[in-house]
Amino acid sequence: MSFINICRDNTDPFYRYKMPPIQSKVEGRGNGIKTVIVNLSEVSRALGRPPAYVIKYFGSELGALTAIQEDQDRYLVNGTHDANELQDSLDGFINKFVLCGNCKNPETQIEIKGRDHLQRDCKACGHITDIDPRHKLCSYILKNPPAGAKDKKGKKSATATANVVGGGKSISDIAQGQDGDLGGDEGEENDDDDALTKKINAEAAALAQVEIKDDEWAVDMSQEAIEARARALNTGALGADSTLSKFNELGDWLLEECKEGKEDLPSDVEIYKKIVDLDIVQKPETVQVLSQCLFDENIVEQLDEHQGLLAKLIVGDEDYEKAFLGGLERFFGIEKPDLIPLVPKVLVKVYNNDLISEEVIVNWGSKVSKKYVPKDISKKVRKAAKPFIEWLKNAEEESDDE
């Protein structure tokens, strides 16, 4: 088999770092048609990244569901995708998650620095490049760190040294390609974004740990509840629970800043800073408040707009995922019951964006709960979600059968 340069922008025939080209074949027909990437394991081994990272990147970039069958070494993408399309998409993955941002050398390691901070550490030039946390794949990597991952105190997350093929001379300066940090068309790093990311991570790391004993707590953001809380605050009734008061303050602030018709809406950075100021970044109830107060009838599109913020807060933690679904229950069941038909579309969106895992969604949809809403409302929301829940279950069964 002929090999190609890992960095295809570099046309030097003596370029040392090579990989096999993508090979794919189409299986099935009709709605069940899928593309199997035959040699994904070999390609991933050359890049020094787990195959699951590459297939999840394809799913994100191509807007398709993916399936991973590691025991059979099978990796599938829904729909028909030819090898050239997949190879072009792989170039994006290489630029964003493999190549050094300075020397464009693929001899890098992915490191986890903090709860939601990923970096590429280049073993060739020593340069450290921040990985854009807004990309959907980042949340999957944080949720599924490679073997030998290190914790947020600075331990390494994975060996990502590229596979070297051939004995050509070493190349340190490769022809400029897409920037590996933010996925843009320019080859330079965005210093402003890097500085802001570092500042936010530094603030988040300093947060104090405050435990909430009542795990059945839920935020009621109805107009009556807001007025009741205001009266309670005036009488000091909430003074004993300062953390609960902070969640209420965040909810009231969001409802005021994001109210319908307002032109100057807060950015994700402003919302995150507000959460940091309230010292509730590391509380699952925070994402519950967001799912209740951040959206309106355009929730499907708004989930894409706020994907970076939500992924930064949820980062694959099951408690956060459940809290987010609980907030959506209250949003649809109590605040916007006329939008209940949108529940399947919303679940598809959070699933494709890797905000909520398949297991959590299936478990949530399989039993009625009165934790966040009355039982009859919970039943109504889950009934609307049933088509997507059944699809997830059937897809899992088909995968097992194959």
d(CA 74, CA 79): 15
Say yes or no: 229 and 351 in one domain.
yes
pLDDT per residue as tens digits for the range 367-386: 888 888 888 899 999 999 98
Are 136 and 250 members of one domain? no
Residues 6+ apart with CB under 8 A from 19: 3, 4, 6, 42, 43, 46, 47, 163, 165
Q: Which pLDDT does position 144 carry in this prediction?
A: 82
261 within domain boundaries: yes
Model pLDDT for residues 219-255, shown as the tens digit of each residue: 555 556 555 555 444 333 333 356 678 888 888 888 8
pLDDT computed for residue 173 by the predictor: 36
Whether residues 276 and 194 fall in one domain:
no
Same domain, 81 and 190: yes
Please report whether residue 213 resides in a domain: no
Please identify every stretch of the chain with a pLDDT value under 50, giving residue numbers as ranges.
Answer: 149, 151-193, 204, 206-217, 231-240
With respect to residue 16, please indicate whether it lies within any of the assigned structural domains: yes
Gap between the Cα atoms of 359 and 170, Å rounded: 46
Q: CB of 112 within 8 A of CB of 151? A: yes
Same domain, 257 and 350: yes
Do 188 and 233 belong together in one domain? no
pLDDT score at 65: 87
Looking at the structure, do residues 293 and 185 belong to the same domain, yes or no?
Answer: no
Q: Are residues 256 and 129 in the same domain?
A: no
Please count the residues of the chain: 402
Asked, for residue 302, whether it belongs to a domain, the answer is yes
Estimate to the nearest angstrom the gap between the alpha carbon of 347 and the chain centroid. 14
Per residue in 143-179, pLDDT (tens digit) is 888 765 454 444 434 434 334 443 333 333 333 333 4
Shared domain for 189 and 230, answered yes or no, is: no
pLDDT at 99: 92
pLDDT at 283: 87
Say what the pLDDT of residue 216 is: 37
> For residue 90, which of 36, 54, 139 has the smallest C-alpha distance?
54
172 in a structural domain: no
Domain count, the chain: 2
Question: Which residue range(s) make up the domain with 131?
Answer: 4-166+180-204
pLDDT at 255: 84
Residue 75 maps to a domain: yes
